[in-house]
Amino acid sequence: MSEPLWNLTDFLDATGGEMLGEPGEAISGISIDSRTLQPGEAFVAIKGDRFDGHDFVGTALEAGASLALVAAERLDDLPTDGRYVVVEDPLEALRQLGVAARARTEARIVAITGSVGKTGTKEALRLCLERSGKVHASVASFNNHWGVPLTLARMPADTEFGVFEIGMNHAGEITPLVQMVRPHTAIITTVQPVHLEFFGSVEKIAKAKAEIFSGLEPGGVAILNKDNAQFDLLSFLATAAGVAKVKTFGEKADADTVLEKSSQQVGGSSVQARILGQEITYKIGAPGHHHVKNSLAVLTAVVELGGDLALAGLALSEMHAPKGRGEVTTLQTPGGFIDLVDESYNANPASMRAALAVLGETPVKRPGRRIAVIGDMLELGADTDALHAALAEPLEDAGIDLVLCAGAHMHALWEVLPKAMRGIYSDEASGLEETLLADVRPGDVIMIKGSLGTRMGPLVEALKREFPPADETEAA
């Protein structure tokens, strides 16, 4: 029988809570969602923007929660026969539980931030380090003020490698998170014009990302992208923060980890690189040059954390782009097949250019076309329309045949697109659906991307409903 994640005594010590009722002695996990809670897990009643976890405490207890971590001021609203640990603020108690989880482990820890590529890099590190030991990593994009402490609190004591993604929309958000995580290695994938609405300049974004250095353990290493325009500033800020060691990756010959050669294939890449002086050839199971670049950071971190480089290189072939972040699905149409690239989770100028480059690299069987279905990129500030219009160049460079645009800001791009490239424009993403479904032809490769608020995801689902995925058709 496996050890519980927490025992009740340690849980109480960490949270500083008071016990009411009869909480379970063994706590198998930590949950903040009563819908997915498993019997034996502790339910943490967090108050969010839309929901208050206290409203679901009864459901969680009925589902078999070992206990509910709740606020004292809400006790009168809760079932009187419940199993509770009572605190002033459940989110703060979760943070303290995360701090205690970090303190009790001897795991080697890596933290990742950056304007783009955080989640893909985190998943690649998870894959690579699993070949060398027991890994605990963030699920989905749990990278904010509740996601990071939740991931820490879920980390078993016998973890050997911890992988944490840390995000931010505003200055000052990374510092408290990284000081909980206390990584031995910190990666900044790249700094790009993302969330400009809140920062005003790319340099200010770089300074906010550099907050990750404030939590590095003594003797820790920062891994930086030498090809990025903000490298000199980041390197200076690392030194100013007292970082003992800075390692670089990129395509420049003087980087510590260098990309020597890469070639794109359908659904992936072959790579030849020198990782901190060691030559290695490997394959990546997800398409796009951005994955190639980030793999350099991943393998550098594996070496710095004491993992096996050769096994890590082999593991990258198993990497696949997740839903909304480059997942490729082949769909069956009446006359043949089309490939759907789902990039609908989010968008900014850097990730949009990367996605368009991947689309341009994807082989197309004529009369099929490369079709970009793109929606507004949000939170870009005063230069929003200019940044949208600037996408005309990467669209042409990638050889995109047809562009469908959605959103008020995308109109700036629509106005400068060559007429031959124009498919349809709509103020709302939903306005593209009828034309998109009617115009599909065998051999098409369709990439759908936009900021989450632009609601491009339903277009992905509409295509899958109209044209079933090929693997489902074969199974039937």
Instruction: Specify the CATH class of 327-475 in words.
Output: alpha beta
CA distance between the termini of the chain: 40
* pLDDT at residue 302 in the model: 98
Q: What is the mean pLDDT of residues 81-94?
A: 97
Above 60 in pLDDT, residue 372?
A: yes
139-148, 167-176, 271-280, 299-308: least confidently modelled range: 139-148
Burial string for 78-102 (b: 16+ CB within 10 Å, else e) reads beeebbbbbbeebbebbbbbbbbbb
Q: Which CATH superfamily is domain 105-318 in?
A: Mur-like, catalytic domain (3.40.1190.10)
Per the model's pLDDT, the better-predicted residue between 360 and 363 turns out to be 360
Say if residues 194 and 116 touch (Cβ distance below 8 Å).
yes
10 burial class (0-12, 13-18, 19+ CB within 10 angstroms)? middle
Above 60 in pLDDT, residue 472?
A: no
Say if residues 459 and 423 touch (Cβ distance below 8 Å).
no
6-87 and 327-475: identical CATH topology: no
Q: How confident is the model at residue 196 (pLDDT cuts 50, 70, 90)?
A: low
Q: How confident is the model at residue 213 (pLDDT cuts 50, 70, 90)?
A: very high
Q: What is the mean pLDDT of residues 460-464?
A: 96
Calpha distance 292→285 (Å, rounded): 10
47 burial class (0-12, 13-18, 19+ CB within 10 angstroms)? middle
Above 50 in pLDDT, residue 363?
A: yes
Q: How far is CA 146 from CA 7, 15, 29, 91, 142, in A?
A: 22, 15, 16, 7, 8
Calpha distance 340→324 (Å, rounded): 11
Q: How confident is the model at residue 325 (pLDDT cuts 50, 70, 90)?
A: confident
Q: What is the mean pLDDT of residues 214-222?
A: 97
| Helices H / strands E in the chain, number of each | 18, 22
AA letter at 274: R
Above 80 in pLDDT, residue 447?
A: yes
Say if residues 280 and 298 touch (Cβ distance below 8 Å).
no
* pLDDT at residue 2 in the model: 76
In this structure, what are the phi and psi dihedrals at residue 25, rounded to the nearest 5 degrees? -70, -35
Q: What is the mean pLDDT of residues 222-227?
A: 98
Above 90 in pLDDT, residue 394?
A: yes
Q: What is the mean pLDDT of residues 96-101?
A: 98
Name the residue among 423, 416, 360, 371 with its Cα closest to residue 391: 416
Above 50 in pLDDT, residue 46?
A: yes
User: In this predicted model, what pLDDT tens digit does every residue of 60-71 receive, in sequence order?
Assistant: 999 999 999 999
HSE of 132, CA atoms in CB hemisphere, 13 A: 25
Above 60 in pLDDT, residue 41?
A: yes
Q: Which helix (H) or strand (E) holds 370?
A: strand 370-375
Residue 5 per-residue DSSP state: S
The domains of the chain are located at: 6-87, 105-318, 327-475
What's the CATH architecture for 6-87?
Answer: 3-Layer(aba) Sandwich (3.40)
Task: Supply the mean pLDDT for the chain.
Answer: 93
Q: How confident is the model at residue 474 (pLDDT cuts 50, 70, 90)?
A: very low
* pLDDT at residue 266 in the model: 65
* pLDDT at residue 379 in the model: 86
AA letter at 446: I
* pLDDT at residue 51 in the model: 87
Q: How confident is the model at residue 475 (pLDDT cuts 50, 70, 90)?
A: very low
Calpha distance 180→278 (Å, rounded): 33
Q: What is the mean pLDDT of residues 345-352?
A: 90
Above 70 in pLDDT, residue 463?
A: yes
Per the model's pLDDT, the better-predicted residue between 115 and 282 turns out to be 282
In this structure, what are the phi and psi dihedrals at residue 21, rounded to the nearest 5 degrees? 75, -150
pTM for this prediction: 0.80
* pLDDT at residue 462 in the model: 97
- The distance of Cα 26 from the centroid of its chain, to the nearest Å, equals 31
Q: How confident is the model at residue 195 (pLDDT cuts 50, 70, 90)?
A: low
Above 80 in pLDDT, residue 1?
A: no
